[in-house]
Amino acid sequence: MRNTSVVTEFILLGIPHTEDLETMLFVLFLSFYIFTLMGNLLNLLAVVSSARLHTPMYLFLCKLSVCDIFFPSVSSPKMLFYLSGNSRAISYAGCVSQLFFYHFLGCTECFLYTVMAYDRFVAICYPLRYTIIMSHRACAILAMGTSFFGCIQAIFLTTLTFHLPYCGPNEVDYYFCDIPVTLKLACADTSALEMVGFISVGLMPLSCFLLILTSYSCIVYSILQIRSTEGQQRAFSTCSAHLTAILLSFMPVVLIYLQPTPNPWLNATVQVLNNLVTPMLTSLIYSLRNKEVKYSLEKVLQQVALISEK
């Protein structure tokens, strides 16, 4: 990546209009961050510890939990660091890393939700062929493919942003390095690049959402063909957690990146919720609304309680 910049570090100004609220925000965001890490670690433990859950659907759920552990960890530690009264400076390399890993993990999750929708489509529409279509090899390819294409997208967006010269102002009017706020500091015309980035960031989740919508349209049609009410309810309950998680993940992307006139305070608020609250809620949704994960998690917690008593 070519770097003609003379800027060696950036200053993160934080969430707009939150002056004198640092202590309250620190406690609030730290709580969210800890609950997010704990919830997703427990989900991982529940799936790994139960042989019954070693299936494609839970393999993808494990990967989602891993992403939900690392995704908030891209921006939260630095944000908590300066909210506790420490330096707001971040190195040029640190800013590049933040932007890359934020979009790498975000895009990976987006592709992963699409793969999970396809998995549910095969399970409900072609149940007799499920084990053949979703073989171990196919699952491994799909799981690795989500990271591969997420990495390609992140490399493109990061290169697009940081191939420009940064030679003047270095104050990022945000709480982490993201594309729109970083491009404003470039010493060059960024209008064409902003349009390319806008199309790229908007097109990828839109494509994934359309594929998910197609999968669930077929799923709903198949469920309606089931004659028993009990069968329909079981099929709908299998997909409800996934659909809820999809809505929680895709709505912030639409609000942040596809606004005609960006609102810094709204963007920061939505992005903080997306970075910290959504991963926490996702772990709760999959653990509380999925009976098998809930049962496995209860067993794990009972074993931990027994060990602690000894």
Contact 94, 102 (CB under 8 A): no
**What are the contacts of 16-20 at 24+ separation with CB within 8 A?**
16/173, 16/264, 16/265, 16/268, 17/265
Helix (H) or strand (E) holding 207: helix 191-224
pLDDT, position 228: 72
Tokens 């960031």, located at residue: 201
- End-to-end CA distance of the chain: give it in Å, rounded: 55
Report domain 9-303's class: mainly alpha
| SS3 of residue 111 by DSSP | helix
User: Residue type for 243, please?
Assistant: L
What's the token pair of residue 118? 């396809």
Burial bucket for residue 271 (CB in 10 Å: 0-12, 13-18, 19+): buried
Q: What is the pLDDT along the chain (310 residues), one digit of tens a residue?
A: 444 547 889 999 888 777 788 899 999 999 999 999 998 998 888 888 888 888 888 899 899 999 999 999 999 999 999 999 888 999 999 999 999 999 999 999 999 999 999 998 998 889 889 999 999 999 999 999 999 999 999 999 899 889 888 887 888 888 899 888 888 888 887 776 767 766 666 778 888 888 998 998 888 888 877 777 776 676 677 677 777 788 777 777 666 666 656 666 777 777 888 888 888 888 777 776 677 777 787 777 777 677 766 6
Q: What is the pLDDT of residue 2?
A: 47
